[in-house]
Amino acid sequence: MNYQFGVDLGGTNIAAGIVDSEYRIVHKASVPTEAQRPAEQIAASMAALCHQICKEFGIGVEDIDSVGIASPGICDHDTGVVVYTNNLPFHQFEICDLIKKDFPAKAFYIENDANAAAWGEAIAGAAKGTTNSVMITLGTGVGGGVIIDKHIFDRGVNAAVAELGHMVIHVGGRQCSCGRRGCWEAYSSATALIRMTTEKIAEYEEVFREESDQKAKDILSLAIPGLPTQNSINILQDSDICVSAGSACAKGHRSHVLTAMNLRPEVMDGSFRVSLCRDTTQEELDALANVIKNDILPRAR
């Protein structure tokens, strides 16, 4: 049996896995990205991780039919180049050519990470069986991927369509790593939540000493992820919305992320098919306060 290899390049971790013909991930592993390193070193870690996973699974490189790379930012499908990404040192970086040296004679593909996530959910995950769907990825940044008529809507100008994380939700607001102010990513990514929590520690220190405190709502309201999510629903009304929590919080707390977004999960397995729901209850705010205290605060410090 031959296999496909998928590599997800994130701002926090590099994750990779072997996929069989039924779209099942049969083996996977991850390593820290260490995003401050030069691009060439990050690419070398990606290649090394692929070899490690093949060895652990007991197959050789010759058993891999193709390699797909999911990268944040603007990706040129035709040349295999990461044109630009604001959370990693990749600018006009020929990532496919570099990794091909370790996987000769293999087909290589590159795609924006949120687009790749949207496609994965459409064919084998939370959006399977749907015609149109929108993927929102919450992690180091905030990404968006759109599926229309069972195809990735990704061409646009410079292949930069559907960058939902960079819709402005607060004019003149917080600085975003893309250079603009007030982007969704500047408020709702894990990076932003850690930064905002750090800023609020002195002001609301008691939140982190107690399991339940109404002031947790003040901190959570800074992230305001519900508004742009609802905007996405309104723009593409005939679509399912899938949310991937990524590194935003521990797996056991992903439902609380959706609670903060004022959304209800219908599929609770990594990503979710969601719909608009009622206001957040006090009990859910209490649970979210615990998420901040136990998962976010340690990283903020």
The length of the chain is 301
User: What span, in angstroms and rounded, lies between the C-alpha atoms of 137 and 145?
Assistant: 8
pLDDT value at residue 129? 87
Co-location of 85 and 226 in the same domain: no
User: What span, in angstroms and rounded, lies between the C-alpha atoms of 186 and 203?
Assistant: 21
Structural domain contains residue 91: yes
Co-location of 99 and 190 in the same domain: no
pLDDT value at residue 204? 60
Give pLDDT tens digits for 227-237.
676 677 666 66
Select the more confidently predicted residue: 158 or 96.
Answer: 96
Co-location of 95 and 144 in the same domain: no
Burial profile 54-79: b = 16 or more Cβ within 10 angstroms, e = fewer: beeeebebeebeebbbbbbbbbebee
What is the CATH classification number for the domain harbouring 22? 3.30.420.40
Co-location of 214 and 285 in the same domain: yes
Structural domain contains residue 119: no
Co-location of 87 and 17 in the same domain: yes
pLDDT value at residue 45? 96
For the sheet containing 91-93, what is the strand order?
74-76, 81-84, 91-93
Instruction: Name the band, by pLDDT with cuts 50, 70 and 90, for residue 12.
Output: confident
3-state SS, 239-275, equals CEEEEECHHHCCHHHHHHHHHHCCEEECCCECEEEEE
Structural domain contains residue 114: no
Co-location of 8 and 144 in the same domain: no
User: What span, in angstroms and rounded, lies between the C-alpha atoms of 127 and 271?
Assistant: 9
Q: What is the mean pLDDT of residues 43-70?
A: 94
Domain range enclosing 134: 129-300
User: What span, in angstroms and rounded, lies between the C-alpha atoms of 134 and 137?
Assistant: 10
Structural domain contains residue 113: no
Instruction: Check pLDDT > 90 for residue 127.
Output: no
pLDDT value at residue 119? 93
Q: Read off φ and ψ for residue 285, nearest 5 degrees.
A: -65, -40
Instruction: Name the band, by pLDDT with cuts 50, 70 and 90, for residue 58.
Output: very high
Instruction: Check pLDDT > 50 for residue 250.
Output: no
Structural domain contains residue 32: yes
Co-location of 154 and 277 in the same domain: yes
Please tell me whether residue 88 adopts helix, strand or coil conformation: coil
Number of domains in the chain: 2
Co-location of 159 and 287 in the same domain: yes
- Which among 105, 137, 169 is the end of a domain? 105
DSSP 212: -
Structural domain contains residue 123: no
Helices (H), ranges, the chain: 39-57, 95-100, 113-124, 185-188, 190-200, 216-223, 226-235, 254-260, 282-291, 297-300
